[in-house]
């Protein structure tokens, strides 16, 4: 009897294993792999290659540009959460960013070694962003495809022919690849939307990694005069992390490390420009506000108030500074010589950015373009004279409209509106501190940093932030259970 019973059990187990294997085979054809390694945000080998690239950029900049191109192409095609930190590391170029004005002669020697073909080394990864995302959208095995913003992506695709036409029209001019590079770079938001939802533990590891890199960059900026835009981009995260971990009582060591990091950020911001300090203040205030909101209803109210307040500040400051700017040399010198915080604010708005924004508005109104311009120029009135300004508008609203035209510009603005709205929903619905820190970082960089320096839409510097903005779409709904790396959001 025992032998017969064992035979029956063995046969039952064989049938169960066969059925499970069959189901697993069918599901493996339909869904992306979501094992622990693919959902991890820390890959020591990729981080080591990123550090090697940074060292190489100091030793020999021209060849490091091509190394970065190959490295970033691999990261993009890999399409896993562990590419975020290496993306950040790949934006650092020590030879260019380390040192002061007295090193300009050395930089001129480095520039003489460049052949001009390096712009293609920057263009290839940027174009691959869009291509990889497009094929991932078509694949039914992509993670979280059921929640993908297909309408917004369709509008993005409709803008592509206009961008390509503008690029061909500017063929041969200086920086003629800029249009297609920047537009392809924006596809990283959709790229992030297709990444698998990762566990809260991995979110914590991602925030820790970003904070450590930010702290190291701050120390290099203070003691070695490193001029990296990552100081600007990571300042909201450094400011927001400290109040969140302190109010949530995340442990003595973590609280001390976050507070020290935040204090270093404040120290650097006070001695740097007002806008860098503003990024730290925004992150700290938003982190304190959301940490204070304990209940879900209060958290939703605070998140909504933060979003709409920042959006109103962005638009109102731009309009006020453009209309009331001071184009005189006397006003510029007077405001520049004052050391008070209030004078620094008004100088930045009325004497520095205001003339640019008013000139850009006039150019958009008087000479609108359909397909955009690689290097737009517009007339400004500043320092008591009129001159042609060949650089960016330093504004996240005006820059897309001027550079990409009246068709693609609004599409880009809609993309950033959706990205910030996603961050707002993640801030409102998810109570995890790591998710909230990432959401505050996106909101501050777009709605506060975008007022004067929209580095978040610059290729190389802002790549990882757009990926994070897309990844936050996985945390915009109220959680129904424990969050694991194998999310139920993966399409089956």
Q: What is the pLDDT of residues 146-198, one digit of tens each?
A: 788 999 999 999 999 999 998 888 887 767 788 888 899 999 999 999 998 99
pLDDT of residue 337: 67
- Flag whether 217 is in a domain: yes
Residue 335: predicted pLDDT: 65
pLDDT for the residue numbered 187: 93
The angle at the Cα of 37, spanning 35 to 41, to the nearest 5 degrees, equals 120
- Whether residue 110 lies inside any domain: the answer is no
In a domain, 23, yes or no: no
Is the distance from CB of 370 to CB of 407 less than 8 angstroms?
yes
| 399, two tokens | 């820059």
CB 380 within 8 A of CB 182: no
Q: Is residue 403 a part of any domain in this protein?
A: yes
Beta strand 385-389 pairing with 378-382: antiparallel
Task: Determine the pLDDT at residue 438.
Answer: 96
State pLDDT tens for residues 26-47.
333 333 333 333 478 999 999 9
Q: Do the domain assignments include residue 258?
A: yes
**Structure token pair of residue 271:** 């001695």
Total domains present in the chain = 1
The verdict on residue 27 lying in a domain is: no
Task: Tell me which DSSP letter residue 224 carries.
Answer: S
Q: Is residue 386 part of a domain?
A: no
Distance CA 82, CA 47 (A): 9
**HSE of 314 in the Cβ direction (CA atoms, 13 Å)?**
26
**pLDDT average per 10 residues of sequence, the chain (492 residues):** 40 40 35 46 94 91 88 93 94 78 53 66 87 88 81 94 89 78 92 92 95 94 87 93 89 91 92 85 92 86 89 88 81 67 74 87 90 85 82 89 92 94 92 94 91 80 92 76 32 30
The SS3 call for residue 477 is: coil
What's the CA gap between 413 and 422, in Å, rounded?
A: 14
Are 257 and 238 within 8 A, CB to CB? no
- pLDDT reported for residue 452: 82
Element (H, E) at 388: strand 385-389
- Which residues contact residue 376 at a Cβ distance below 8 angstroms, ignoring those fewer than 6 apart? 363, 402, 403
Residue 387, SS3 per DSSP? strand
- SS3 state of residue 379: strand
Q: Cα(288)–Cα(243) distance, rounded to whole angstroms?
A: 5
Average model confidence (pLDDT) across the chain: 81
Containing domain of residue 202, as a range?
Answer: 129-323+393-475
Residue 201 lies in a domain: yes
pLDDT at 87: 93
Q: Residue 387's beta-bridge partner residues?
A: 380
Query: What's the confidence (pLDDT) of residue 103?
Result: 53
Per-residue confidence (pLDDT) for residue 314, from 0 to 100: 85
């Amino acid at each position: 009897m025992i032998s017969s019973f064992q035979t029956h059990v063995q046969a039952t187990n064989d049938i169960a294993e066969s059925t499970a294997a069959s189901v697993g085979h069918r599901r493996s054809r339909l869904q992306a792999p979501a094992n622990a390694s693919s959902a991890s945000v820390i890959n020591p080998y990729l981080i080591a290659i990123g550090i090697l690239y940074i060292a190489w950029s100091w030793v020999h900049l021209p060849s490091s540009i091509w190394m970065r191109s190959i490295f970033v192409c691999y990261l993009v095609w890999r399409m896993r959460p562990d590419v975020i930190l290496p993306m950040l590391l790949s934006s650092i170029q020590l030879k260019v960013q380390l040192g002061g004005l007295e090193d300009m002669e050395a930089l001129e020697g480095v520039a003489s070694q460049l052949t001009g073909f390096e712009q293609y080394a920057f263009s290839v990864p940027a174009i691959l962003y869009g291509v990889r995302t497009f094929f991932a959208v078509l694949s039914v095995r992509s993670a979280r495809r059921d929640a993908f913003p297909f309408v917004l992506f369709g509008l993005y695709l409709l803008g592509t022919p206009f961008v390509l036409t503008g690029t061909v029209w500017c063929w041969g001019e200086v920086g003629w690849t800029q249009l297609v590079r920047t537009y392809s770079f924006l596809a990283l938001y959709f790229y992030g939307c297709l990444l698998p939802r990762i566990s809260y533990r991995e979110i914590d590891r991602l925030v820790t990694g970003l904070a450590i890199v930010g702290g190291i960059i701050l120390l290099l900026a203070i003691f070695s005069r490193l001029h990296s835009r990552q100081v600007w981009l990571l300042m909201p995260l450094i400011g927001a992390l400290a109040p969140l971990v302190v109010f949530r009582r995340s442990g003595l060591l973590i609280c001390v490390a976050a507070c020290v990091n935040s204090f270093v950020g404040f120290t650097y911001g006070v001695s740097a420009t007002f806008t860098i300090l503003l990024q730290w203040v925004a992150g700290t205030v938003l982190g304190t506000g959301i940490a204070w909101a304990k209940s879900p209803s209060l958290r939703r109210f605070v998140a909504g108030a933060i979003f709409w307040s920042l959006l109103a500040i962005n638009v109102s400051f731009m309009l006020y500074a453009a209309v009331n700017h001071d184009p005189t040399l006397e006003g510029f010198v007077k405001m520049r010589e004052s050391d008070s915080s209030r004078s620094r604010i008004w100088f930045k708005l009325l004497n520095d950015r205001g003339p640019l924004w008013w000139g850009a508005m006039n150019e958009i109104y008087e000479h609108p373009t359909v397909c955009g311009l690689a290097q737009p120029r517009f007339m400004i009135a500043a320092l008591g004279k009129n001159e042609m300004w060949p650089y960016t508008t330093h504004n996240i609203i005006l820059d897309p409209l001027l550079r990409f035209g009246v068709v693609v510009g609004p599409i880009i603005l809609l993309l950033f509106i959706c990205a910030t709205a996603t961050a707002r929903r993640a801030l409102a619905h998810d109570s995890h501190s790591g998710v909230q820190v990432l959401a505050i970082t996106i909101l501050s960089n777009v709605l506060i940093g975008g007022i004067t320096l929209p580095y978040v839409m610059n290729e190389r510097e802002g790549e990882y932030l757009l990926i994070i903005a897309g990844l936050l779409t996985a945390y915009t709904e109220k959680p129904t259970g424990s969050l694991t790396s194998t999310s139920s959001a993966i399409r089956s």
